Amino acid sequence: MAKTRPEDLDWNNLGFKYHDLPFRWVDKFQDGKWQGGQLTSDSTITFNEAAEELHYGQEIFEGLKAYRRKDGGINLFRPDQNAKRMTKSAERLLMEPYPEDKFIEAVKQVVLANQEFVPPYGSGGTLYLRPFMMGTQSIVGVAPSETYEFRIYATPVGAYVKGLNPMPYVISDYDRAAPYGTGQAKTAGNYASSLMPSLLAKKAGFADALYLDPKEHKYIDEFGGANFFGITKDGQFQTPKSDSILPSITKHSILKIAADLGLDPIETKIPIDNIDQFAEAGAMGTAAVISPVGSLTYQDKKYSFGNEKEAGPITQKLYDTLTGIQFGDLEDKYNWTIKLS
């Protein structure tokens, strides 16, 4: 695959797809230690056919972004939290955690090495970073690998869900993760299990599927790639509390912002039977940012939020505040951003 050049890109219409940029980070765990890591131009990975990751799914990943400020500089948003979450994912899957300080330094190096691909301010684009780690040992019996490869690639992207346009979603009959399973780890298998329900939802005319808790199917869990939130009719911000959903860095950031906006935010079990308590609803995550939910269909009944044509005023305010901090347009009183240039 030929390397992408900046002049090949339409910054205002990037979409959400992969571009083979000049540099990525690679490090290997072998002989009981990480080898140090380095930037490389090689975007290919070579496995033995019996590699752990290919057969037993010992793989984890992260997602974060770099943002072009109005003055031309570049911001990172809370990479320390991605490092911590990746450590927890590694521990859950019996993998060797990548040192968190080295994780942050590697992210910085990848961004700076590819900085001409950070989309211009005002284009709506960002540089998406995908750190990931996989077990590489050749194994036939089920056991954790003793060798790992850690990599970070970058690709310029537009909005995962374009614009703050409310979209229709449906409650899935499938489960994203098992009770007491790997739902809180960012591992590939959780996303593989969401492919079919997502496709079925889209074929039925919905944007995607929303899952209920896998134990009782009574409470809202999350979307396939984002957390759920709702704004009650009396103005409270609510988001699900569950042991089977991924702890979202975007969610925890918005919880703090919502508190400062006087929305009395809480993480709580949200019964699906109480869905009509919300005046606004949305999805939130690194890729989704904040995407308004226009309606939810559950057991053939449609529940609408707002007028289904535009984001509600609170959703809009949360979006403007979060992205204002990320792009450097608003004061970062939380010390969440790192200026790379």
Strands 59-61 and 24-30: unpaired
- The CA-based dihedral angle spanning residues 68, 69, 71, 72, taken in that order and rounded to the nearest 10 degrees: -10
Q: Residue by residue, what is the 3-state secondary structure of 261-296?
A: CCCCCEEECCEHHHHHHEEEEEEEECCCEEEEEEEE
- Interatomic CA distance for residues 314 and 149, integer angstroms: 42
- Element (H or E) spanning 110, and its range? helix 100-113
Total residues belonging to the chain: 341
* Residue 88 annotated in active site: no
- Interatomic CA distance for residues 302 and 296, integer angstroms: 6
The active-site residue, picked from 33, 186, 256, 301, is 186
Bridge partners (DSSP) of residue 212 are 220
**Which residue type, as a one-letter code, is found at position 306?**
G
- Interatomic CA distance for residues 283 and 168, integer angstroms: 11
**Which residue type, as a one-letter code, is found at position 109?**
Q
Residue 92: CB atoms within 10 Å: 16
Please list the active-site residues. 186
